[in-house]
Structure 1
Amino acid sequence: MSRYQKLIFDADNTLFDFDQAEATALLNTLKDFAMPTPDGLLDFYRRMNATLWQQLDNKVISIAELKQQRAEQLFAFVGQEADVQDFSHHYLDELANCQFLLNHVSETLQQLTDHCEMAIITNGLSRVQKPRLANSPIRAHFGALVISEELGVAKPDPEIFAHTCEQMNWAQPEEVLMVGDNYRCDIQGAAGFGMKTCWFNLRGVPHDFEDHDHEIHHFGELLDVLQLQRI
């Protein structure tokens, strides 16, 4: 029997390879809008986007402001402009079409589905997350997809963890294991709500963090955490 029978996963860079999706979607969108791709584009975009998402996490800006500022800063970098809403929608739709999974995700979830109830909490955008999961081969494994944009609160707010437990009819947070790559949002947020946590340290970052119960470096190691034999 699995050590935990109730699991919640983050989506981006936990289940899905967001780095590959982001690069693919951005380049495809710029191509479709006949915009250039200057040297350093991806590095610039990732730094800029990470900063905006951090501001969103800290409730400094809204989702609408994030989309607006992201497009405006990108246009300034490439030296051309387009309608912000059209460009943003096109980019998000490209992202939704990128269902790249990280290594070992598909086969690991297939093994877990006989032992565990599973849900997803994501701070991503509904226009991306809902169609991406719906068209993904892993969609059948999850009983709930909770999207911060729809709920109006985001990880690490305890309300989003409480809502997910309600959706899954889970009464005891301490029986739930949260698996995610973002230490503040996924791990500290879930721990603050009373859940057990497994940090997916995807990039092998050296650290002295102590708020997590388990740590993995590739997805297949989750079977070891759950004390399930690898097939």
Structure 2
Amino acid sequence: MDIEHVFFDLDHTLWDFEKNSDLTFQKVFDKQNITVDLSSFLDIYKPLNKEYWKLYREEKVTKSELRYGRLKKTFDAINYTISDELIDVIAIEYIDFLPDFNHLFDYTFDILDYLKEKYQLHIITNGFEEVQTKKMKSSKIFHYFDKVITSESVGLKKPNPKVFIHALETANANTDNSIMIGDSIEADIEGAINIGLKAIHCNFENEKINSDKFVSINSLLEIKQYI
């Protein structure tokens, strides 16, 4: 495999979004005196957040609707009375505080050190532009990457093929010498495969995957077996 360029997703792939997000909510709730059981809140919030991100990828909700709606629906579901004004404050503080936490998945530095010697590394992310760079700098991985392509800079979101094509053009790469690594089968893996890119799926939750179109790994160190 003549790989020269490795494109990574960020959240849920290198940056441990769930752990960092949980810590962020704890910080925001403490600051705003939100008296809810955090685990009960998160049990409702996490699937709702996934639904909203899917709608966001499909251009069915805006960024502001995502930020407000996922919180409003969660508080309603747990019967916690809260004003729209406070929801807006929480939404803003959540985004502000999120990059303060910098937990990465196991072996992130090991695999980035290994790959950096051999390949040009890049990020393709659907995450909000103002947050992603802060996350990468806070967790000390920003310097590993030559190009960082955000969906907001393109004006479209993965799995839209134009995002991947734009990323390849930005990195001066092509489908033959590049590979995509990410956690979302829909956004990262199928999106990449649909334009002819090879792909590796990060399956850190050990879900049952049946596909011969791509390989799934349970640890970042397994990338060494494929490139």
Taking structure 2 as the reference length, the TM-score comes to 0.92
Segment of structure 1 superposing worse, 58-67 or 153-162: 58-67
User: Which residue matches 2:65?
Assistant: 65
Q: Write out per-residue CA displacement over residues 168-211 of structure 1, whole angstroms, 9 at most, x where no aligned residue.
A: 111x2122110001001000000011111111111111121233
What's the CA shift for 1:21? Answer: 0.8
Instruction: Give the counterpart of 1:160 among 152, 160, 163.
Output: 163
Q: Distance in 2 between matches of 1:11 and 1:129?
A: 8
Q: Does 2:11 correspond to 1:12?
A: yes
Q: Distance in 1 between matches of 2:96 and 2:116?
A: 29
What's the CA shift for 1:89? Answer: 1.4
Percent identity (aligned):
24
Q: How does 1:1-231 map to 2 (within 5 A)?
A: 4-38=3-37, 40-76=40-76, 77=78, 78-81=80-83, 82-170=85-173, 172-212=174-214, 214-226=215-227
Number of matched pairs: 223
Is the 1:175–1:196 contact (alpha carbons within 8 Å) kept by the matching residues of 2? Answer: no
Is the 2:3–2:176 contact (alpha carbons within 8 Å) kept by the matching residues of 1? Answer: no
Q: Distance in 1 between matches of 2:25 and 2:8?
A: 25
Alignment CA distance shift 1:204-1:72 (3 Å): same
Gaps of 5+ in 1: 227-231
Q: In structure 2, what residue type is equivalent to 1:191?
A: I
Q: Deviating runs (4+, > 6 A) in structure 1?
A: none
Gaps of 5+ in 2: none
Segment of structure 1 superposing worse, 202-211 or 42-51: 202-211
Segment of structure 1 superposing worse, 56-65 or 158-167: 56-65
Q: In structure 1, what residue type is equivalent to 2:169?
A: E
Is the 1:187–1:211 contact (alpha carbons within 8 Å) kept by the matching residues of 2? Answer: no
What's the CA shift for 1:3? Answer: 5.1
Q: In structure 2, what residue type is equivalent to 1:30?
A: F
Q: In structure 2, what residue type is equivalent to 1:205?
A: E
Taking structure 1 as the reference length, the TM-score comes to 0.90
Segment of structure 1 superposing worse, 9-18 or 143-152: 143-152
What's the CA shift for 1:127? Answer: 2.7
Is the 1:93–1:127 contact (alpha carbons within 8 Å) kept by the matching residues of 2? Answer: no
What's the CA shift for 1:64? Answer: 1.9
Q: In structure 2, what residue type is equivalent to 1:17?
A: D
Segment of structure 1 superposing worse, 59-68 or 20-29: 59-68
